[in-house]
């Protein structure tokens, strides 16, 4: 029997996520977020979450991680893009809560964020990166010069749960992604103890070309199918 469970609903897929969990959420911008799962987590109501994502930058009404912030389920965000680059338009919930001291932020350069997640999934204890040397992103971090290049030490990120989005899963949990919606999803799938995926379709094991599979099913625990949009 396959270890990966195909859930009947998004509510079932996010059931049991406790308060205080560390949650990774895939997607680069609001339009490729795993919005079905994020919406289900809003309904489920787990609080005091640490959120690891590219950024909760959606304006009110957008179906991305900003919904969790708006619903006050998030204690701290680790991300590269916490606020929209322009101040035109209404202030996001994240920015309002941040200004009020109600939410924490660990601002991380995007490549460092990706590599910290990759390292978390790959069992790497820490790594030296040249990004951030001589800037606020390197302050207070261990520095080292290797072959004449300056680096700062960065630590991996792991999560209790990853909520990600893919295009196609097979019944063993092998995943294919569509175009640029791949982004953080494959590395987050590796870095969480429980990885939950929303997909457009599930096909029988054995029908996908094994050479094109991006995320092998051993990283995937729960799957839910997105209703057609």
Partner 1 sequence: MPKDRLPREVIAMRIAAELNDGDYVNLGIGLPNMVSNYIPPGKQVMLHAENGVVGVGPSPEEGHEIPDLFNAGGQPVTLKPGGAIVDHAMSFAIVRGRHLDAAVLGGLQVAENGDLANWIRPDRGVGSIGGAADIARGAKRIFVAMEHTTRDGELKIVKRCSYPLTAARVVDTIFTDVAVIRVTPQGLVLEEAAPGWTPADVQAITEPTLTVSPNLREIQL
Interacting residues with partner 1 (CB under 8 A) = 28-29, 31-32, 55, 57, 80-85, 87, 95, 98-99, 105, 107-112, 114-115, 117-118, 129-137, 167, 177-187, 214
| Residue 45 vs 104, nearer CB to partner 1 | 104
**DSSP secondary-structure letter at 8?**
S
| Residue 17 vs 215, nearer CB to partner 1 | 215
The whole-angstrom separation of Cα 49 and Cα 5 is: 24
| Residue 62 vs 196, nearer CB to partner 1 | 62
Q: How far is the CB of 18 from partner 1 (least distance, A)?
A: 27
CB 187, CB 114: distance < 8 Å: yes
Q: How far is the CB of 210 from partner 1 (least distance, A)?
A: 18
Task: Give 221's contacts (C-beta < 8 A, 6+ positions apart).
Answer: 3, 4, 5, 173, 194, 195, 196
Q: How far is the CB of 185 from partner 1 (least distance, A)?
A: 7
Q: How far is the CB of 152 from partner 1 (least distance, A)?
A: 11
Q: Which tokens hold the place of 48?
A: 């005091």
CA 144 to chain centroid = 29
Q: How many CB atoms lie within 10 A of CB 198?
A: 25
| Residue 17 vs 112, nearer CB to partner 1 | 112
| Residue 21 vs 185, nearer CB to partner 1 | 185
| Residue 17 vs 70, nearer CB to partner 1 | 70
Q: How far is the CB of 49 from partner 1 (least distance, A)?
A: 20
Nearest to 95 by CA among 107, 78, 83: 83
Q: How far is the CB of 104 from partner 1 (least distance, A)?
A: 12
Burial 110-122 (b: 16+ CB within 10 A, else e): eebbbbbbbbbbe
The whole-angstrom separation of Cα 163 and Cα 14 is: 9
Nearest to 112 by CA among 156, 61, 67: 156
């Amino acid at each position: 029997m396959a270890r990966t469970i195909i859930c009947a609903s998004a509510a079932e897929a996010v059931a049991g996520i406790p308060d205080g969990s560390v949650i990774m959420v895939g997607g680069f911008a609001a339009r490729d977020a795993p919005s079905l799962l994020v919406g289900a987590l809003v309904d489920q109501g787990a609080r005091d979450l640490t959120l690891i994502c590219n950024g909760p930058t959606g304006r009110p009404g957008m179906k991305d991680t900003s919904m969790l912030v708006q619903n006050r389920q998030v204690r701290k965000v680790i991300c590269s893009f916490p606020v929209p680059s322009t101040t035109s338009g209404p202030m996001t919930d994240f920015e309002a809560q941040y200004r009020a001291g109600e939410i924490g932020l660990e601002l991380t350069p995007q490549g460092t964020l990706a590599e910290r997640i990759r390292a978390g999934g790959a069992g790497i204890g820490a790594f030296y990166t040249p990004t951030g040397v001589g800037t606020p992103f390197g302050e207070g971090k261990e520095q080292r010069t290797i072959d004449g290049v300056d680096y700062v030490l960065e630590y991996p990120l792991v999560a209790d749960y990853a909520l990600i989005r893919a295009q196609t899963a097979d019944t063993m949990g092998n995943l294919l992604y569509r175009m640029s919606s791949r982004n953080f999803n494959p590395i987050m799938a590796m870095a969480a103890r429980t990885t939950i995926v929303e997909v457009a379709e599930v096909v029988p094991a054995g029908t996908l070309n094994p050479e094109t599979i991006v995320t092998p099913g051993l990283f995937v625990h729960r799957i839910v199918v997105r209703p057609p949009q």
